[in-house]
Each structure stands twice: as structure tokens, then as C-alpha cells.
Structure 1
Amino acid sequence: MPQESIISLQDIHLTLKSDAGPVNILRGVDLTVQQGETVGIVGPSGSGKSTLMSIMAGLEVPTSGSVCIIGKRLEEMGEDALARFRRENIGIVFQSFHLIPTMTALENVAIPLELAGESEAFSLAEARLKAVGLADRATHYPAQLSGGEQQRVALARALSTNPKILLADEPTGNLDGRTGEIIIDLMFRLHEQEGTTMILITHDDALAQKCNHQIRLEDGRVVSATTSREEALAGE
């Protein structure tokens, strides 16, 4: 019996208006991801990678095409329903962290849990901070944390509600090489422990090749789709 896709994008187009005329951001993208898989999406700046992630998260509505996430057609849902769906099913890690500067690390991680009505929000947030190695930084504000520590807080927040899908946009983009490696190792370790489906948007081909599948976008189109095994065989 075939496994049901957790992410299914069919013929996704996104066209935006501009003074110079319509701008085609995505041009007929198809993508299927199974539960528990890891996918690295690569391509040059302006190829549509971050836009594609926003469409998977329901933050952007395509001009045409079908977006089916965990069996739900996102294009058929209103803003309130999309917000609830994201809160219950999708964790997002942004390149610029997006932490609230007036809240401690613990409070930042607890926010999604509190919005979900979780009575044990702070104890669960403490457990998430411990899982990313920041138990001793819980009372620190973002300005008191290094870039790597802020990214770990952002990761703990994204995973706080045990989402089925984790979307990460350039998760190492603002970090030095060594700190970036630590963050990626942490993400893959947590993925293995919890079976979360993980989509990484990155400029880094080496990072993408850590994933089960690699998708390359150029000019809003998928130009190649490979698996890690295929990459390994091609290098032999």
C-alpha cells in the first residue's frame, strides 16, 4: 500500500504585479514529500526557494495550482484556519531568527504553546531549550545571546508544538561555518529522534546533500530532483 504524501504541490505558479508588468516567481512547480523525509531545496538567489517555502507554510497563496499539506488543501482555507493549521502542524525557522527582543529565550519558545492553549507551556518550553543545549540561557534576552544561540532558540520554538513538518529557510545563513555545522547537526539529530519531515532551503549544496532528496530551482522551475543515493553513485 503506497504511503500518503505529507506534502504535495501540483503545478504551482506565482505571478506578482509590478510597475514593469507581471513577474513570474514560480512557474509550474511540482513537489511530493513523504512523511519523515528530509529535502534540501537549492538554487541561486531569486530562483523562488523562499517563496516556495512560504507557499508550503500557507504564508503565501499561489496564483494557481494545488497545495496539499497533511491531506488539507491550503488554497481552500481562510486566514484563521491557515493560522490554526500552521500552529498545529508546521514549525518554521527563519534565517533572521525572528525572536521577540523583549522576551527571554524561555518566553520566546513558550509563545506557540501558549497560543495553542497548552497549560504546561513553560515546562514544555524548558524541555525544548534543554534539547537544544540552552537550559542555562532560559532567562537571557535575544540581545544577550550569540547568533548560534539565537538560532537554537528559534529552532526550539519551531519544534515546541511537535510539528509534523519543519521548514527552515537558510538556517545557517547568518552564522559562521563552525556554528552553522553545530546547528545543522542539531537539526538532523532532532529529526532522527522525532521523525519530523524536514525541508531545508539553502544555497549550500553540501548541506542539501545531507538530506534524502535534493531539489534544484532555477528561474522559478524545478530543473533537477535527485536522491542522496543517486548523488553518491554519480560521484563514484
Structure 2
Amino acid sequence: MSFLAAPVIELAAVTLRLGSAAGPVDILRGIDLSVEAGQSIGLIGPSGSGKSTLLAVMAGLEKPTSGTVTVAGQPLHTLDEDRLARFRRDNVGIVFQSFHLIPTMTALENVAIPLELAGDAGARDKAAAELGRVGLAHRLDHYPAQLSGGEQQRVALARAVIAGPRILFADEPTGNLDSHTGETIVELLFGLGRDAGATLVLVTHDPALAARCDRRLRLADGRIIADERP
């Protein structure tokens, strides 16, 4: 007898409506999605199609207007903000286009934050090791302003994976980088995700980056219009 593993991400009839000066705007319109553990998913489509919003809903950063969102066995649509924050801390790593590093903290301190919040006494040592994995062992005591864009994104990657997340989300992770630096970040992103055994969900406008994913979900007008599996 064989058993199918439960999806690590499952969305059913998810909608998101936001208010605006011109009236309500439908950002997501009835999204149904099932993602297996360990898959890499590329969210593609034109600007304004709902890619980043869909990622935010899956990561527990945005609550849907209706529908259900179950991630790593947790029904996110039922959790309050405190429980969502704990869920993200324990299950999710997120990499943003604009890095989101704390400017008054060193690279080491930025990476150690998730483990320190979880009460891990070895947070600093683990952060140093993670920065070494992304090639920044010589930059531990540097502040974000003293780092290049590519180095800041490496710090953000190290922070995202340090707690061994089940799911790694990345929103345009190479959008602010030149092509050479972006390729380095892509290699690190896929390598770190693979080493952690994490499911990877990323938003990108880069066809080459999307082509590396197991699946490409094409969005338009808040709907998934194609599920491409190379």
C-alpha cells in the first residue's frame, strides 16, 4: 500500500480584495494551488498580475479575503498575528529584493536574529558558519552600508536559511543586482535550498531563473493561467 504525502502548500479558492480611493480592487481571484515538498516553483507574469501578493499570502505575510491557505500543515487563514509570526520563525525563510537588513546591526547580528529570537544560545556561532557558506566569513563585523548589493543579498540569504526552513520564499531576489552578481545569488539560492531540503517559491521576471524551477506558474489578472512543468 502506498500513501501520498500531504502538500506542503495548499490554497483553495483564495481571493484578496483591497480597498483603494477608486473602490475595491481584486488582487487575487480564486487561486487553487498544491505544492509538493521539495519542489521549486517560479511565479511569473506581468507586473500587477498578483505574483508578489500570492507569495505574501503563502508566506503568511498577507491574509486572504476568502479561501483557505494551509502551509506545512498549518491553516494560516485561522491564525492571529502572533501565531503567524511564530509560524514564520519556525517554518519559513524569506528573501526580498531590497534585502531588508537592519542597518544598525552587523552582518553577523542580522543573520543571528532568527535564532536569537528562538532562544538559541549558539546563534552567533551558527550565524558565522552560515555567512562562511555564502562567502562572507571576512565580513562578519561589517554593517549593511559597508557591503555591496550582492553582499547584502548574501547576508539576507544566510539569514533566510539559518533556521533550516521547510519553505524558502524569494521575491525578485536578483532584481537589484547586476547580471553577474545575480547569477551568483541564484546559484546560492538553489544550492542553499537544496542543502536544507526546502521547498522554494520565487517571484521573478527573469526567464532564465524561472527556467531552473520544477514548475512555472504563470499569473495574469490575479489568476493562475498556466502551470508549466518542464
Amino acid at match of 2:98: S
Q: Distance in 1 between matches of 2:205 and 2:14?
A: 22
> Structure 2 matches for 1:87-126, cutoff 5 A?
87-126=89-128
Aligned twin of 2:214: 212
TM-score normalized by structure 2? Answer: 0.97
Q: Distance in 1 between matches of 2:17 and 2:80?
A: 20
Amino acid at match of 1:158: A
Aligned twin of 2:13: 11
RMSD: 0.8
How far is the alpha carbon of 1:192 from its aligned partner?
2.2
Unaligned stretches of 5+ residues in structure 1: 229-236
Amino acid at match of 1:116: A
Aligned twin of 2:140: 138
How far is the alpha carbon of 1:194 from its aligned partner?
2.0
2:225 to 212, 215, 223: 223
1:163 to 165, 171, 189: 165
Q: Distance in 2 between matches of 1:162 and 1:189?
A: 13
Contact 2:165 2:196 in 1 (8 A): no
1:187 to 189, 212, 218: 189
TM-score normalized by structure 1? Answer: 0.95
**Matched residue of 1:166: which SS?**
strand
Q: Distance in 1 between matches of 2:46 and 2:156?
A: 25
Amino acid at match of 2:89: R
Q: Distance in 2 between matches of 1:38 and 1:136?
A: 31
2:57 to 55, 58, 62: 55
Amino acid at match of 1:118: D
Amino acid at match of 1:113: L
Query: Which stretches of structure 1, 4 residues or longer, exceed 4 Å deviation after superposition?
Result: none
How far is the alpha carbon of 1:127 from its aligned partner?
1.1
Q: Distance in 1 between matches of 2:216 and 2:81?
A: 31
How far is the alpha carbon of 1:164 from its aligned partner?
0.5
Q: How many residues align?
A: 228
Q: Distance in 2 between matches of 1:206 and 1:222?
A: 20
Per-residue CA deviations over 1:56-100 (Å, capped at 9, x if unaligned) read 111111000110001110011111111000000000001100001
How far is the alpha carbon of 1:189 from its aligned partner?
1.4
Unaligned stretches of 5+ residues in structure 2: none
Identity %: 61
Q: Distance in 2 between matches of 1:135 and 1:144?
A: 15
1:29 to 23, 31, 56: 31
**Matched residue of 1:199: which SS?**
strand
**Matched residue of 2:159: which SS?**
helix
Per-residue CA deviations over 1:176-205 (Å, capped at 9, x if unaligned) read 000000000111111222211100111112
Q: Distance in 2 between matches of 1:11 and 1:113?
A: 35
